[in-house]
Amino acid sequence: MSAFGLATALVASLLMPSAADAAETLLSQGKPATASSIEGSGFEAAKAVDGNASTRWASIEGHDPEWIQVDLGSAQAISRVKLTWEAAYAKSYQVRISTDGSSWTNAYSTTSGDGGTDDVTVAGTARFVRINGTARGTSYGYSLYEFQVYGGNGGPPPGSGDAAVPFGGHTIPYAAGMLRPSGTQSALDAKVVDYYQRWKAAFVRQNCGNGWYQVISPDADHPYVAEAQGYGMVIAATMAGADPDAKKIFDGLVKWTIDHPSSVNPDLLAAEQDVNCRSVNGGDGATDGDMDVAYGLLLADRQWGSAGTYNYKQLAIRHINAIKKDELNPSTNLLKLGDWSSSGDQYYYISRTSDWMVDHFRAFRTATGDSAWDTVRNAHQTAIATLQSGFAPSTGLLPDFVVNTNTSPRPAPGQVLEDPNDGQFWWNACRTPWRIGEDAVISADSRSLAAARKLNTWIRSKTGGNPDQIALGYRLNGTQISTGSEPAFFAPFAVTAMTDPGGQAWLDALWNKMLNTPIGTDSYYSASIQLQVMITVTHNHWVP
């Protein structure tokens, strides 16, 4: 085959509809297109939206910036933009959207374009979509074989599985006065979608067959842990509307949870699986994973209803009731470490603070109608206040583990389960600013707000407003344990920063820190925490 024939075949293959394309509507083909310039006759803007793999738009050579835009004819909910570049590509460009052709919003941007095909997720509503090239990748101009915009007219974006609360819809408001990072909402949403796609590529798998999806955990003791699957279920249900595969992934995760029941209570999830996808170490349950599994099922019921392959609502209620039966201490109303701990053992009156997900308790109360979950929520909020005032009055920090929950709850005196720092703000408790702050920004509950603001005031002062100074762990008095920088430690403080009316610069610094930190493909833990924090700080978190 000649070089020309090979290039033509390559371009044609790039234009063939993918599975994602087939699930959406191509809105741009044949629509009016304009450009800032053309190289000459035969390279008009319309050539990029004609569906012909052998024609292209090309700008004049050697000049920046240049742009091309398409008029979709009416305001549309758009979900993706697919660009098939000729050799003259953009190294830096933005996808800009507008409903009127005069006021523009950046929906996506990159400074590291490398040509070929760019397929980017864009959440927003637009009549006009523009590719604004600001730095050429070659000495020539900008040239596109195809400029394709996908989406649909009104409602959730096509491919969302008819999600009732599509990502980026912002139909469920936060409490009044809660901050978000600076910038347009669509640009913030696009950053979350971009990080989600990288997280998904790094950690979402279909191993061992059987219709399963899993979130792998390369940094955990086993390839699959319940905590990771819980994160995956919450994330997949929340990203519906931005990812056409969200429901398929979610259902694969549901099948995994059903097929890996806890050996203690089969309505819960076994905590650990090996490389062959078999449950190990007794096959009992872990509270943190089960809390998110139940919450994710409630999100799914709200998103897609429960009349499909799985009755999400029924599964959620079974899971919630199982948590109440076997992962909640009935005498303290505080969560246990897992369903494996029973009365009389040394762990029965120990609790992990990062499991204290106050907004989850609210959702469980709504779903079940069981007022016991109000009692549980109050018990955990009281414990937070007691620990902050009694053991961390200057910092508000919580320890990884709390002992003596039946008498006088206090930080673990040393290693009680995992590490000599079990009584410090370490690799479990690092999540507590996110978990506490999440309830604060949604509910505006006075206790959650007070706890979140105490944490925020201390860390902002401790670091002088510089997120680079957030250490890896602290003793409860504020002395750092280790140096370094890790999303699991710095990202959660962005949620507490949202509660500070005067903290815009601090929140922006934390947001930019997240954006400038490459995703660690060897750490599902940090990446999953940062992704969920990004969802929350952009006002995309919601309580079913």
DSSP alpha helix (H) spans, 150-286 = 185-203, 226-238, 246-259
Give catalytic status of residue 86 as yes or no.
Answer: no
Catalytic residue among 24, 66, 118, 288: 288
Which residues are 351's β-sheet partners? 402
Give catalytic status of residue 267 as yes or no.
Answer: no
Spatial contact of 356 and 328, defined as CB atoms under 8 Å apart: no
Q: Closest Cα partner for 12 from 44, 49, 58, 55?
A: 55
- Phi/psi-derived region of residue 26, left when phi > 0, alpha when psi is between -120 and 50, beta in every other case: beta
CA distance 181 to 436: 19
* Spatial CB neighbours of 5, under 8 Å, sequence gap ≥ 6: none
CA distance 459 to 382: 22
Give me Rg for the CA atoms of the chain. 25
Q: Tokens 């700080």 sit at which residue? A: 537
Per-residue b/e over 338-347, b at no fewer than 16 CB within 10 Å? bbbbeeeeeb
Spatial contact of 243 and 196, defined as CB atoms under 8 Å apart: yes
The amino acid occupying position 61 is: E
Omega cis (within 30) before 65: yes
The residues that are catalytic are 227, 288
